[in-house]
Structure 1
Amino acid sequence: MRLRQSVHAALVAALFLSAAVADPIIANGSAPMDAGLTAAREMAIQDALHQAALSQGAQVNSAQYMNSGVVSESSSLSAAPISGKVTVLQEHQADGLYQVQVQVEPDQPAARGRATGCSAPDSRALRRRVVAAYFYLDHPADASDLDALGVRLPHDLARRLGQLERQFAVRDAGNIGLLPNRYLMDPALAASAVRRLADSENAQFVVAGRVLSTAVTKRSPRLSLYGSTNSSQQGMYYNGPGSALFGPGVVYRSVAREFKLELWVYDGLTGSLLRTQQFATTASGYVEPRNMPVFGSDAFWETDYGGEVNDLMDAVTRDVAATLSCLPFTARVLRVDKGQIYVDAGGLSGLQVGDRMLVYRQRLANAVIDPASGQELGIPESLLGDVSLIQVQPNLSVAVAHGGKAPVQAGDLLRFIPKR
């Protein structure tokens, strides 16, 4: 039998929470026009949505910026974004600014927290590209019967994410570790390795983590016959007359075992650690068979221990899906030739002819560092303008630019603009 435990999957980062009220919210936003009309309109809408979120509660964040060797500190207000229907009520241009007024109708409480609750406003699902990397083991000896767990676990996670219809294109890189060595378990140290892996696998996001425990948590005495005296299990055995034939004894068998992991989700384009979350469960029954089936196999899921771990992996998959579906879809410029811009995403990602995308350029020389933890938070970007898609193939699109303050070049990032 299996004893089901609750999985600890509370969303602790404000990035993935929804607004606490369901009443419509009116907010105003503005943006400069220097990157073009389309970019200015989208940035003004984003500013209005930010103002709407701040009106529901805010927190103060500070960060240090390094620019040409000079460190400066900046403080800002942040708030959980509001998920729901957005309607542009008014919009106009004045004094070099694009100004909008929007109405936000927040999702009802029952609609929040869904794994697929953040699709584009036109109801299209854009397939995020994800790569799953190695999971480190805090206690390898406890997992000795789970052969190659650190490699097989991301393989299973990639399989589950790939089965979510048209949500993710997933690659398995379970043999690649992100940290400098297994003794440094701070996931924030992996920023440069994350960027390299995402670039080599053409992925927008990277998922990895570590297994905190696979330990047996309870043992119980069991009567044993026939060969008990030859057993290596801890217990009490009869060694008198007839023991060679019957071998009676009392042995201690594992009857409860936990599985606890820590999930790391990264933005592959910047190397930023987006979130960490722990998941844990405990199984009871026959949790440590003499010949444990291979992790991830059908035979493993049918065991008492594997069945409980299967439920936990389902919860991990839902959490990853909910996290990534709420983040902007991003592609990269492959090259620019005679005014045509070649993009590394196409119809299989959900893109269509006529889609508009904002163009960003990373300022790789400028690092953004959290003053408290020293964690690299990301790479600053400059908004250049926007493009529209004129041709879409399965894995490639061709776009043209619509003005802006700098020409588009290879390596620039493109973020999807939803139709509002």
Structure 2
Amino acid sequence: MMRWLFPFLMLSLCAGIADGAVLEGVGHASIRDQNLDQARAEARQAAMRDLALQYQARVSTRDTMENGELVGSHTELSALAQVRNATIVDEYQSGNLLRVIVRAEMSDAGGEAGSCQSAEASTLRKRVAVTAFPVIRPEQGGDGLDEAGLQLSQALVARLQQQERLQVLGATSLQLFSNLPDAPTSRKNSATNQLTNVVQLARELGAQFVVSGVIRDIGLADPGAWGSSILDRMQRSIGLTDTSRRFEAELMVFDGFSGSPVFRQRFETSADWRPDGSGSGSFAGAGFGDSEWGSAVEGVMADMTAAVTRALACQPFMARITRVDGQRVTLASGATAGLRPGDELHLYRSQRYFDSLDGTPELSDTGVTLTLDNVHPDFSNGQMPEEGGLINVQRDDLAIIW
């Protein structure tokens, strides 16, 4: 069965919707075992693909063949299409076939290219916390790979810091998920989209986004290929055994304010493994890239780093309000984020309702802007034209640059 994946269609707060269009996409799916909900989800996904294709999104397809048979198909859409307000407007069932029509607002979302390139937020350094990438199956470790989860997150921190486009905070000793095989579906409340620890962690670290993930597979293709007998050694020497090792990691980026996911993608590779070879005995250590498997994994880490940068490029810049004194407002972000005196930020109220206190907070625009006049490395403050009490702006509300 083909599975259509959409890692780059970002349902986000992205601003600057220029040259957007309202389009309708059609998707079909078969109803199996009378599971209408599953069919509806598949049909909706197919309709989203149709929408993206109509908006001239690039599509990359990779098929997996075994013994001449198609065993898997992986399709990716590039980050050229952003979807907003997607709604099923029509549904029709004929026998075991379900058809849905989805209407959505489509616009460019090309990372640093496209409509957000001129947005003010793209010039600011958003604060990102990177947590551990635990190995789901620790028994696949050994051979210097027991700390792969910690070392992968540390490598991502270093790579993101080198780009100097984000403020990167290392929280690599913290594990975000309690149920690793199902990550990131373990939630505080199944009725909400808020992950248990994201909001709390982001608040403690002062981060706007949290990057996390898991290593789903780091196993040998054939564990028996590395036997110590004379026969095992002879078979390895003449290439009769599969000496490759797999690497599969899932990367997730969460909005620290709401806990909602803004990006998710799996990365995988496989290459020849040599336990005694140069660099292959220590994950991400010195000489790691000198081995075939190490070089392949380093390529994956480079792709993961680029994916985080692209996913956050068009996101708005948000700073928490830490103090309101009359018309004076203090923010928890400053010069290290790129803020300068004279910058203007829009003030938003954060609201929760008594019947859903654990739900995602809603933001409402006050219609008031804050002009900075005093900027320090980690905080800044400025004036707004009205008293805070008149518009009910208070601590933990947000100042946003789009």
Give me the TM-score of the superposition, normalised by structure 1: 0.64
C-alpha deviation, 1:235, in angstroms:
5.8
Residue among 360, 374, 391 paired with 1:378: 360
Match of 1:236 in 2: 231
Residue equivalent to 1:402? 385
TM superposition shift of 1:180: 2.9
CA offset at residue 121 of structure 1? Answer: 3.1
Q: Aligned partners of 2:186 and 2:382: how far apart in 1? A: 35
Structure 1 residues 9, 144: closer, same or farther in 2, change over 3 A? farther
Query: Secondary structure of 2:155's match?
Result: helix
TM-score (norm 2): 0.67
Deviations 1:99-129 (A, max 9, x none): xxxxxxxxxxxxx455898455359620010
Distance in structure 1 (CA, Å) of the matches to 2:82 and 2:310: 24
Structure 1 residues not aligned, in runs of 5+: 1-7, 28-51, 63-75, 84-111, 222-230, 238-247, 370-375
Is residue 2:276 matched to residue 1:289?
yes
Q: 1:174, 1:122 → 2: CA distance?
A: 30
**What SS does the aligned partner of 1:196 have?**
helix
Structure 2 counterpart SS, 1:378: coil
Q: 1:79 aligns with which of 93, 96, 105?
A: 105
The 5 A counterparts of 1:12-91 are: 12-15=8-11, 59-60=86-87, 78-83=104-109
Distance 2:341 2:320 in 1: 17
Matched, 1:306 2:297: no
Aligned position for 2:400: 415
1-structure distance, mates of 2:204, 2:6 = 32
Secondary structure in structure 1 of the residue aligned to 2:298: helix
1:117–1:322 CA contact under 8 A, matched in 2:
no
- Which entry has the higher C-alpha Rg, 1 or 2? 1
Q: Answer yes or no: is the 8 Å Cα contact 1:357–1:386 preserved in 2.
A: yes
1:212 maps onto 2:189 in alignment: no
Tell me if 1:175 matches 2:173: yes
Larger relative contact order, structure 1 or 2 (CA cutoff 8 Å, min sep 6): 1
Change (3 A) 1:116 1:269: farther
3-state SS of 1:354 partner = coil
Provide the residue aligned with 1:392 in structure 2.
375
Alignment deviations for residues 310-347 of structure 1 (CA, whole Å, 9 cap, x no partner): 01110111111000111000001111235321111112
Unaligned runs of 5+ in 2: 23-54, 56-79, 90-101, 188-193
Counterparts in 2 of 1:216-295, with a 5 A limit? 216-217=220-221, 232-233=227-228, 236=231, 250-251=235-236, 255-284=243-272, 286-289=273-276, 292-295=280-283
CA distance in 2 between counterparts of 1:311 and 1:345 reads 33
Give the alignment's Cα RMSD to 1 decimal: 3.9
Q: How much has 1:308 moved relative to structure 2?
A: 0.6
How far the C-alpha of 1:282 sits from its partner, in A, is: 1.5
Q: What letter matches 2:107 in structure 1?
A: P
One-letter amino acid matched to 2:173: N
Tell whether the 8 Å contact from 1:346 to 1:396 is kept in structure 2 after alignment.
yes
CA distance in 1, matches of 2:399, 2:84: 30
* Counterpart residue type for residue 154 of structure 1: S
Name the amino acid aligned to 1:400. Answer: Q
Which segment drifts farther, 287-296 or 304-313?
287-296
Q: Distance in 2 between matches of 1:61 and 1:378?
A: 23
Cα distance in 2 between the residues matched to 1:327 and 1:218: 43
Contact 1:361/1:412 (<8 A) preserved? yes
Alignment partners' CA distance in 2, 1:366 and 1:148: 44
On the 8 A contact 2:245/2:271 being kept in 1, the answer is yes
- AA partner of residue 138 (structure 2): P
Structure 2 equivalent of residue 158 of structure 1 = 157
Which segment is superposed worse, 135-144 or 200-209? 135-144
| Identity, % of aligned positions | 26
